[in-house]
Amino acid sequence: MEGILVLQTFWSLAIVGMCSLVLVIQVCAAIWIKPRRIRSMLSKQGIPGPRPSSFLHGNILEMQEIQSMAVKKAQSQPQNQPISHDWAHYMFPHLLQWSQQFGPLYMYSTGNKQHLYVGRPDLIKELNHQKSLDLGRPTYLVKATEPMLGDGILKANGLYWAHQRNVIAPEFFIHRVKHMLGIMEECTIPMIREWDSLVAIGGGVADITIDEDLRTLSADIISKACFGSSYSQGKQIFAKLDALRESIFTTSLFHGLPNIRFLPTRRNRQMWRLKEEVRTLILEVVKGRQENNQSFGISDQNDLLQAILESADDSEAFQTTRDKDRFIVDNCKNIYFAGSETTSATASWGLMLLALHPEWQERVRAEIVEICGDQLHRNLLDLDKLRQLRTLTMVLQETLRLYGPGIMLTREAFAEIRLGDLTVPKGTNMWVLVPALHRDTGNWGPDANEFKPERFTRGISEACKYPQAYIPWGIGSRRCLGETFAMLQLKVILALVLSKFSFSLSPEYHHSPVFKMVLFPKHGVRLLMRRVQSSNMGTKREAY
């Protein structure tokens, strides 16, 4: 009997030892073997980069030192300097410094994560042609933003992402989006009226912080156009998504540092609470739609929410109601966030640039008069008329070049892939710094940091030497699905604002771009608004 117990103890210890050995091997592979393999493969192809200080930190300490020096340099600059559009050098100074040192293609490390910086136009073109599901969002970034975006279209990978794309993409085809123009105009007019009343109260001029109003407007448009929900419901959802974003970005999202998102810290508890509140609010919208469908036997609404609900009902992939709800909630969160934040930020930056350049403000306003005449509201519902606003299109394209909402494009290779003459090892995280591409003097010329919409006179294909390096909407199969929707919305909003107001920068405006999932003005965009003289815009213009 004692021999049997000894034997059982021996085998138990042996199993524990084997499990421990397997765990040790897996840990060593993750933090030592895999990173060395990736770096070795890249190095053999002639790709340089900064030497990691240690296998635990990689280049993080050097990144922090470069960032600290950039902050000190920015703080030492005299106040009231002219506004510069070259803001990327203090946001990601390590990437730009290493670009100058190693060229447009180099590798670096953050802990055990290996990164490949890609700034060569030919490789950007190759990325743009990539359709493989073996290329997707970096796993560690997907995990970091899970409370806010879940596993929706912006963060999902593989076949699950492909399924979501097939559901959502058709809802943003041009024949669907053109029917949303009325909603865009209808939602914008109350904001115009509010600004007009402020101008009247101010005796002909008003100092208005426009970005918050534009965020509210974009939230209202996306709520009504894609979900049919009320303004109040959309406003609550956006407010909580914004609070979630703030929580996520208080820690380093891009350095690949070990996170503590599973520990019950005060911030994590707040994040979990907000996540559940957003889920509850979205499910209330969903429940209302489902009850409406049941009452009428068939849906009387044909929008994005309905497409998501029907896809969830038809799919056999969901084993439980909770899985189905997660699919619905995650995609609603993604559309709410992407459809609102990116458009409102671009509109804010566009009006800021027009305030800086009144000559372009006048050119766009004159074009609106020429194309739309005295029937502005009716013509803004005409897709052909909107397409004829070419000067406004040029201004928006230049705004997206200098202040595009998404400034970092990321991809992870889930299998070994080929990009032109380059072999990218499995597990490599690729980074494309969009503002660096958009300010490359070799591509755009010596005036790359200046606001010059005329560079787009003959379209994107002739605006620069390598048009594939103009990527404000992303690249490849993961290019923004709502691009058409966003551009039409921007045209409607800016056309209505310019037809009613002339504007300049407020003396209180402080230029401070910051990046928290999108590029937005930290201290807001403040403009001095005045009514446009009726002689400039026609005498029969209908009142708002």
**Helix (H/G/I), strand (E/B), else coil: 522:** coil
Task: Write out the H or E segment, with its range, that includes residue 214.
Answer: helix 210-222
Q: Where are the beta strands (DSSP E) in 22-112?
A: 105-110
Number of Cβ atoms within 10 Å of the Cβ of 48 = 14
Task: Write out the H or E segment, with its range, that includes residue 71.
Answer: helix 60-76
Residue where the block lists tokens 């969903």: 286
Number of H helices, E strands in the chain: 24, 12
Number of Cβ atoms within 10 Å of the Cβ of 253 = 18
> What is the C-alpha separation between 341 and 218, in angstroms, rounded?
7
> What is the C-alpha separation between 119 and 61, in angstroms, rounded?
23
332 is in an annotated binding site: no
Q: What are the contacts of 53-58 at 24+ separation with CB within 8 A?
A: 55/31, 55/112, 56/31, 56/111, 57/111, 58/108, 58/109, 58/110, 58/111, 58/112, 58/113, 58/256
Strands 429-433 and 501-505 come out as unpaired
Token duo for residue 301: 């609404």
The phi, psi pair for 152, rounded to 5°, reads -80, -170
Instruction: From residue 64, give the alpha-carbon distance in Å to each of 9, 67, 117.
Output: 50, 5, 18
> What is the C-alpha separation between 36 and 30, in angstroms, rounded?
10
Sign of the C-alpha dihedral computed for residues 487, 431, 446 and 509 taken in this order: positive
> What is the C-alpha separation between 497 and 414, in angstroms, rounded?
46
Cβ pair 338, 331 in contact under 8 A = no
The phi, psi pair for 10, rounded to 5°, reads -60, -50
Q: What are the contacts of 415-421 at 24+ separation with CB within 8 A?
A: 415/132, 415/134, 417/130, 417/132, 417/134, 417/135, 419/123, 419/126, 419/127, 419/130, 420/122, 420/123, 420/126
Strands 422-424 and 417-419 come out as antiparallel
The alpha-carbon radius of gyration of the chain (Å, integer) is 26
Cβ pair 377, 185 in contact under 8 A = yes
Residue where the block lists tokens 């100092």: 207
**Helix (H/G/I), strand (E/B), else coil: 361:** helix
Binding residues for heme: 480
Residue numbers in the known binding site are 480
